[in-house]
Amino acid sequence: MRIDVITVLPKLFEGPFSDSILKRAQEKGLVEIHLHNLRDYSTDKHKNVDDYQYGGGAGMVMRIEPIASCIEALKKERTYDEIIYMTPDGELLEQGTSNRLSTFQNIIVLCGHYKGVDERVREIFITKEISIGSYVLSGGELAAAVMVDSIIRLIPGVLSDETSALTDSFQDHLLAPPVYTRPPEFQGHRVPEILLKGNFKEIEVWREEQALKRTQERRPDLLD
Ligand code: 6GU
């Protein structure tokens, strides 16, 4: 899979993409992440990518020309399955969204900033608009990093234990059950006896019960 990220702050991605699972996925050649600095596509002398909004009002708007020239350059090289705009008014990112996106060959992720992009960018180029939650971030970059992380870990071969993505919270609309490791007792808190006995059939049933209980208590909306 290839992911092209268009941003005014490419540095924000260097941390999250250069460690742990995301780093290994790139090293194994399972995913290519390409960062594009929008400023490189600006043709004016100050390399501006934003401007005042028509009609007045506080806050700058990202101009269409640099975005168009970046997206058009990318589209000349390959076909994209989805051109995604990260925006608080997009559809909420859910596990199912990431599952579907992880099956794609090429995607573009455009990070919004300031007051957002000129509406015509959305009309002309964008095929999908995504938000990661009902709160406002300073820009789309951190949201894009969250989304890209959730996609990449689903690509076959990225996780060392192939089954572990399937047992994640949300994958079956249930939260994950509690987990324990040594020691068997800490400050009077004991590991549930059933996990120590090693009857795998019973353990599986217990985990299912715990997942259901946890979901009912914390996220009953997932069960609807
Ligand atoms: Cl995608 N962008 C911004 N700026 N804020 C957000 C968001 C995205 N998702 C939730 N809040």
pLDDT, one tens digit per residue, over 176-210 is 999 999 999 999 999 999 999 999 999 999 999 99
Distances (CA, A) of 145 to 16, 23, 120: 7, 13, 25
Query: Could you tell me the two tokens for 3?
Result: 């992911």
51 by DSSP, 3-state: which?
A: strand
Does pLDDT of 161 surpass 90? no
Does pLDDT of 15 surpass 70? yes
Q: Residue 5 — pLDDT band, cuts 50, 70, 90?
A: very high
pTM of the entire predicted model: 0.95
For residue 138, the ligand 1 atom closest to its alpha carbon is: 4
Ligand 1 center–CA 48 separation, angstroms: 22
Q: What percent of the chain has pLDDT over 90?
A: 88
Averaged pLDDT of the chain: 95
d(Cα 150, Cα 50) in Å, to the nearest integer?
30
Are 184 and 54 in contact, with CB atoms under 8 Å apart? no
Contacts of 85 (CB under 8 A, 6+ apart): 110, 112, 117, 121, 122, 126, 128, 129, 130, 140
Residues with CB under 6 A from ligand 1: 86-88, 112, 131-133, 135-137, 139-140, 143
Ligand 1 center–CA 160 separation, angstroms: 31
Using most ligand atoms within 8 A of CB, pick from 60, 132, 134, 142 the residue to mutate for ligand 1: 132
Delineate the domains of the chain, giving CATH numbers in brackets.
2-152 (3.40.1280.10), 167-223 (1.10.1270.20)
For residue 139, the ligand 1 atom closest to its alpha carbon is: 4
Ligand 1 center–CA 164 separation, angstroms: 28
Task: Taking residues 51-63, report their average pLDDT.
Answer: 96
Backbone angles phi, psi at 57, to 5 degrees: 115, 155
Q: Which residue has the higher pLDDT, 116 or 19?
A: 116
Strand bridging mode 189-190 / 185-186: antiparallel
Ligand 1 center–CA 151 separation, angstroms: 17
